[in-house]
Every structure is written in structure tokens, then in C-alpha cells.
Amino acid sequence: MSLKPNLLIKVLASIASFGIIVGAIYATMTWAAGQADETAIQRQDSLVRLVVSKMQERIAHDQESATVWDDAVRKVREGDREWIDANLGSWMHTYFGHDAAFVIGPANDLIYGYSDVDTDPEKAYSTVSLKVRELIEDLRERLATGDTSGLSRTMLSIGETDIVSINGSPAIVSIKPIVSDSGEIQDVAGKQPLHIALRYLDADFAQSLGADYLFAEMQFAWAREDVERRYFPLAARDRTAMGYLSWKPFLPGTAVLQATKPAMILGTVLVAGALAGLVVLLQGRADRLRKSQGELYYLAHHDPLSGLPNRAAFKAEVEKTLATSEAAVLFLDLDRFKQINDTLGHPVGDRLIVDVAARLKSAVSAGAMVARIGGDEFTVLVPASKSVDVEQLAEQLIAAIRQPFEIDGQPILIGLSIGIAFSSPGNSEARDILRRADIALYSAKSTGRNRYVIFGAHMEEMAKTRRDLEQDLRAALDSRTQIEVHYQPVYAAENSHLIGVEALARWRHPIKGLIQPDVFISIAEDAGLIDRLGEQILQTALADAKKWPSLSVAVNASAVELRSDTYALRVAAALERANFDPSRLEIEITESAVLGNEDACRRNINSLRQLGVGFALDDFGTGFSSFGRLQQLDVDRIKIDRCFVAAYGTENNNGIVQAMISLAHAKGLKITAEGIETNEQKAWLCALGCDDLQGYLLCKPVLPEMISDMYNRLRAVNSQK
């Protein structure tokens, strides 16, 4: 498992703080252990001191068992060496373990001597006497002065004791006078015989001391040489050092500490491990939580298809930006995206959106934000601080989208319209700038696609005008007097005879005057008025055309109308009511009408065709997949769009038109060329084999009275024939 650096830091920090706590506990324990050890050592020292002094006392006490005794006084006076040996000498060695015993007379002369280290008592005493002379003198003086200090029920006679070094070995020496126990025998004070007992503080002594009082490895040492050991200094009364009793001190604190150490280390490791595990676990949980929060946040703020920020995120960003600075907002809308989606399917549409998003993103510099706010609607936010030339950016975006896309090997061409709005110092409302960009986009789309439009104050006016017009159109439809129909004649190519008319709607607004269909058809579509409008136009056209029985009449149908389930029914009813020959009526539809709701469209077309109504595909060549569409649609005619006519003579164009015509002919369709403005165009289209011709060159749309005049003149000519 590899830890992320910050997680590692957290784990280490937790372990470190745990370590500090453990360290503090350990330090406290060590301190307490030290205190316990210290107390224990002091006790052991006191014990040794006590034992040594008790030993001195005991030797004195041992001596008194024989020195305070009438017999002893007597036998010493007599010089009974045997008796002395049995009671004051070797006996004391066997019985009390004394190492040497000497009895000296009033002049400190050796009366008796015993030593278990030296077979020659004289020599032994000569060594000892040097060390104990002062003690002897002291004692005799005290005896002479009748000093009785220190006497008690258990201490019957005064004495002197000290620790002396004999031949390099420390020894307890105790001196007692040999006195009468009954008081019957008296010596001269200070001149009593003395008994000197010696007990070496040697290995033997140390060992038995250790065994008796449970000191570990108790031994005699000349110097302090081992820090682990305890040393009790043996010293004479005059403080002369005599070496040490040394033992391994019993350290209860350390012992406890040592005993608990493994458990403590194990516990520490376990707790640290558990702690680290816990931190990793919690961190993992926090990470997951943060991640899922992040994912939720991402989902709430991003468009899942393109990965771009969504509408909500964009709006929030605009608000944020406008709070501190000026900015430009671009509204982008793909031209003809709906058609692609409908013809090639949603999966292709989705992939196109993804590709478009990628291109937009790479065209927009860092610092600007691209968002997808709807099906084929994108937005760009450019903060003023980025000092981006917004118009140049708009051009770049359009150019980027204009480049053909390729999906599944199929080239796809689409366009882009852009509306731009700049924030103004007085107005930092996000809602306002978004609305303005939207209005500008609308303007861009309605004034021709693949372009950008910057919001101007007049557009707000336009938007208002549009709302006003919508109201006025409602009133116009109610009044049934304002909607007029003009007619543009259609001529046979072969002989230029008038053969039909195309009905084109006009709105005679009571105040604004004549309004063109380009303006009000889309308003009617948006406002849901197109069905009523279409019906009025159809009724008017049928009524007018009744006067021109030999002419066909073409009526334009809006895409919105054609998708309605009741369209065919309404047309049939109008034909019925006007008692009009259905075969004289031709309905012009555009490709986009058929897209999206093909079933409803086809049903409308088929049922009307069964009545004899003809259908023409208008604006042919501008749609998305014109040729493909021809296979599926049951139409009688195509109308070559006037942009192809206007482009007469330019490269490629003539070939395309020629191809369209031969294809249509091959399928048995009639062909009308519309928008003919020059004789060259007319001659060219005639030569290519167009059936019918239409255009300003031949005749502009005119009032029905004009058509009546033309029709009557035609009849006059014909009847003359």
C-alpha cells in the first residue's frame, strides 16, 4: 500500500503524538522507578551499616559471655593457658566465629593469643597491637576514670571497637576488660587484663552477610570499580578507608520497569499500529466522502456529455466574475444541429457535440470559460481582465466549427451563430448580460447564420417589437382582414407560358404597413399561431385561384404545420369547402419540415396525395441531406433554391445544379428553378432542362388582381388561337 504524502504526514503525526504520550508515560515510570530504586538503595545502605555496627556490638557481646566472669579474672591471673584457650580463645573461634583472640595483661603484655590465620600468636599480636594501641589506651583511660557510659542490662562492661586493617584485610576489633561478674575480685582501675577479639570482614563475612540479609553477590572490594554495584565504605573511627562491602543492589523500580518493558513495547507497537490503521481508515473514508462529494459537485456543475460546465455553473461563474470585473458573454448556437440529430441519429449527434465542445475549448484561451447550457447551445465567458479581443474570438470560434467534422468516416458540416453581450459598469446583473447575449444570438440567427452579432440597445427594442408583433398578429388573425396573399407567377420553361402561381403571405399591419413573411412566419410559429395563419392563407389562395381555373396554385406550408396530426384533415376540409380541385393545389414543404416527426409528416403527405394534392420540396439543396431525403419522400417536384441560381457561373455550382436536375429527372420529378433574376440564368436553367421557372426577371409576387389581369390576357390570347 502506498500512502499519499499528506496521509503519510497524518499517520506520522498521529504516531508522533502517541509517541509523545507514551514517552511521557515512560519518563514518569522511569522517574518513579528511579525514586523507588533510590529509596531501596538507601535502605540497603542503612541495612549494611546496621549489620556492620550490629556485628561490632555482637562481638563485644560475645566477648562478655566470658570476660565478665570471676573465673576468667582468676584464671588469667593464674595464667591458666588451657583454661584461657578453652574459654576466651579458640572456644570463641568455634562458637562465635571470631578470627583471633588475645588476652593482655596490665602492661599490655600478651598473656594468651589465638589466630586462625597465623599459627604464631606472638607474631599475630604484634601486627594487631600496632593497630589497636590507641583503642587499648583509650579503654584503660576510661577504665581508670570509672567511665560507665554505654552500659546497660545487656552491655555489662565498657569496651572499644573499631574497624582496622590487619595485613591488608579489614577487621572488626573489639576490646573488653576481663572483670569480675560478682564484684568480689577487684583489679586496679585501668590495669585490668583486656580481651581483644577480631573478626575479619573478608569474603566469608560478606558471603554470610549476603546470605543472611539477601544481598545479591555481596563481597568485599578494595575500590569502587563497577557502576552497577553498590559500595558500602568500611572505615575506621578515624575515617581511614578500609575498602568496601559491595553487592548488586536490588532495584525494585528498575525491576518493575524491566518486567513491564516487553508488555509496554508490545502495547506501544500495537496501539501505534492500530492508530496508524485507524488514521488510514478514517482518511480513506474522508477521501471517499470528499471524492463522492466531488463527484456530486461535478455532476451538478457539469454537462455529462461534453464534460463542460453546465448552465448553473456558468451562471454562477458569470455572477462571480461580474462581482469584481467587467466581462463579455457569448451565446453560441449550432446551425442545423437538429437536422443532423434527426437524420443521423442521436449517437452521432452526441459525438458531434463532444467534438464541437473540444474545438470550442481549444479555441478559447485559458481564463475564459466554455459551458454547454442546452442541446446545441454553448456559452463562453471572457473576463475583461483577460484582454481578449472578443470579436476576434467569435470569428475564430465560427471558423473552428466551420471546418468539417468527421464521424464514422462521414463528413459533417455545421455552422455556428454567436450573440455577444458586454457587461456595462452600471449593470452587473448576470441575468441581464445573459439575456442580452441571448437576444444578440437570436439576431445573429435571424439575419443569416454563421455569424456573430454584438448586442445593441436596439435589439432589446427588437425583442420588444417581436413581443408586440406577436400580440398584433393575434389581433390580425382575429380580424381576418390584415393577412393578404400575393402571388408570384410560375412559367413553363419550354414556352414561357404562365402555368401557375405561388401564394406568398403578406401582413398589412394597420400602423407598420406591409410586413414580409420572413418576419411574421417565425413569430406565428413561435407563438403557436401558424395553424390559424396557414389556414387563412390557404382559404384565401383557394378562393383567389378559383378565378384562374387553368393555373396551378402553390401554397407554402410551415414545418410546424406539417407535423400536426390534423394538417391533412384541415387542408382537405378547405378544399372541400372551396370546392377546389385538389390536383390544382401544390403544397411546398421544406426538408426541415419532414425531419424530426417523419411519421406524422408522411401521413399528412400521403393522405393528401391520395386526394390528388401535389407536393414540392422547396429550397432544394440547402437542406442537410437533400439527395438522401429524396429517396424517402414522396414528392412530385423539387424547387431548386435561389442561392444556386444566384451562384450561376461560380466554380462547382453549375455542376451541382446539373447533378440535382439529372437526379430529379431520373426519379421522374418535376423541377422548378426559382429566383431567376437574369436572362443568363434563365437560359442556363432552360438549357439544363428545368420544367418551370420563377423569379423577379419573369415576375415579382403581385396582388391577385394582377394575376387575374394576366390570366384574362392569357385566355384572350389562347382563345384567339
Residues that bind Ca ion (CB under 5 A): 556, 588, 618-619
- Which conformational region is residue 217 in: left (phi greater than 0), alpha (psi within -120 to 50 degrees), or beta? left
Closest by Cα among 128, 112, 117 to 75: 112
Where is 330: in which H helix or E strand? strand 327-335
CB of 719 to ligand C2E, least distance (A): 30
Between 161 and 556, CB nearer to ligand C2E = 556
Between 551 and 676, CB nearer to ligand C2E = 676
Residues at the contact surface with ligand C2E, assessed by CB under 6 A: 488, 503-505, 516-518, 521, 537, 556-558, 588, 618-619, 642, 674-677, 694-696, 701
Between 594 and 676, CB nearer to ligand C2E = 676
CB of 560 to ligand C2E, least distance (A): 8
Nearby residues of 623 by Cβ (< 8 Å), 6 or more positions away: 339, 590, 591, 592, 629
Between 436 and 682, CB nearer to ligand C2E = 682
CB of 483 to ligand C2E, least distance (A): 9
Q: Phi and psi (nearest 5°) for 625?
A: -135, 60
Between 279 and 676, CB nearer to Ca ion = 676
Nearby residues of 495 by Cβ (< 8 Å), 6 or more positions away: none
CB of 473 to Ca ion, least distance (A): 20
DSSP 581: -
CB of 313 to ligand C2E, least distance (A): 39
Between 51 and 617, CB nearer to Ca ion = 617
Among Ca ion, ligand C2E, none, the one that 121 touches (CB under a kind-dependent 5 to 8 A) is none
CA distances (Å), origin 13, targets 9, 18, 279, 322 = 6, 8, 10, 43
Closest by Cα among 364, 419, 374 to 396: 364
Helix (H, G, I), strand (E, B) or coil at 173: strand
Helix (H, G, I), strand (E, B) or coil at 309: strand
Among Ca ion, ligand C2E, none, the one that 75 touches (CB under a kind-dependent 5 to 8 A) is none
For cell 600478651, name the residue: 110
Q: Identify the bridge partners of residue 509 per DSSP, sorted by sequence position.
A: 513
Q: Give the Cα separation of 554 and 541 in Å (integer).
A: 9
CA distances (Å), origin 706, targets 106, 176, 489, 666, 694 = 182, 171, 10, 36, 16
CA distances (Å), origin 388, targets 319, 339, 368, 382, 507 = 19, 33, 9, 7, 44
Among Ca ion, ligand C2E, none, the one that 564 touches (CB under a kind-dependent 5 to 8 A) is none
List, as own/partner pairs, every contact residues 405-410 make where C-beta atoms lie below 8 angstroms and the sequence separation is at least 24, other chains included. 405/352, 405/355, 405/356, 407/344, 407/348, 407/351, 407/352, 407/355, 408/348, 410/344, 410/348
Among ligand C2E, Ca ion, none, the one that 604 touches (CB under a kind-dependent 5 to 8 A) is none
Exposed / middle / buried, residue 406 (Cβ in 10 Å: 0-12, 13-18, 19+): exposed
Between 10 and 682, CB nearer to ligand C2E = 682
Between 317 and 588, CB nearer to Ca ion = 588
Residues in the chain: 721
Among Ca ion, ligand C2E, none, the one that 63 touches (CB under a kind-dependent 5 to 8 A) is none
Q: How would you list the strands of the sheet with 160-166, edge to edge?
A: 110-115, 100-104, 194-200, 169-177, 160-166
Q: Give the Cα separation of 642 and 488 in Å (integer).
A: 14
Among ligand C2E, Ca ion, none, the one that 537 touches (CB under a kind-dependent 5 to 8 A) is ligand C2E
Closest by Cα among 246, 249, 241 to 40: 249
* Cell numbers found for residue 13: 503525526
Contact 638, 660 (CB under 8 A): yes
Among Ca ion, ligand C2E, none, the one that 517 touches (CB under a kind-dependent 5 to 8 A) is ligand C2E
Pairing mode, if any, of strands 483-492 and 498-509? antiparallel
CB of 554 to ligand C2E, least distance (A): 8
CB of 439 to Ca ion, least distance (A): 28
Between 113 and 701, CB nearer to ligand C2E = 701
Among ligand C2E, Ca ion, none, the one that 685 touches (CB under a kind-dependent 5 to 8 A) is none
Among Ca ion, ligand C2E, none, the one that 67 touches (CB under a kind-dependent 5 to 8 A) is none
DSSP 424: B
Between 561 and 618, CB nearer to Ca ion = 618
Among Ca ion, ligand C2E, none, the one that 695 touches (CB under a kind-dependent 5 to 8 A) is ligand C2E
CB of 682 to Ca ion, least distance (A): 17
CB of 538 to ligand C2E, least distance (A): 8
CB of 418 to ligand C2E, least distance (A): 25
CB of 555 to ligand C2E, least distance (A): 6
Residue of this chain nearest to Ca ion (CB atom): 588
Among ligand C2E, Ca ion, none, the one that 488 touches (CB under a kind-dependent 5 to 8 A) is ligand C2E
Between 421 and 501, CB nearer to ligand C2E = 501
Helix (H, G, I), strand (E, B) or coil at 181: coil
Among Ca ion, ligand C2E, none, the one that 243 touches (CB under a kind-dependent 5 to 8 A) is none
Between 200 and 567, CB nearer to ligand C2E = 567
Contact 614, 586 (CB under 8 A): yes
Among Ca ion, ligand C2E, none, the one that 688 touches (CB under a kind-dependent 5 to 8 A) is none
Between 113 and 704, CB nearer to Ca ion = 704
- Which conformational region is residue 166 in: left (phi greater than 0), alpha (psi within -120 to 50 degrees), or beta? beta
CB of 587 to ligand C2E, least distance (A): 10
CB of 642 to Ca ion, least distance (A): 6
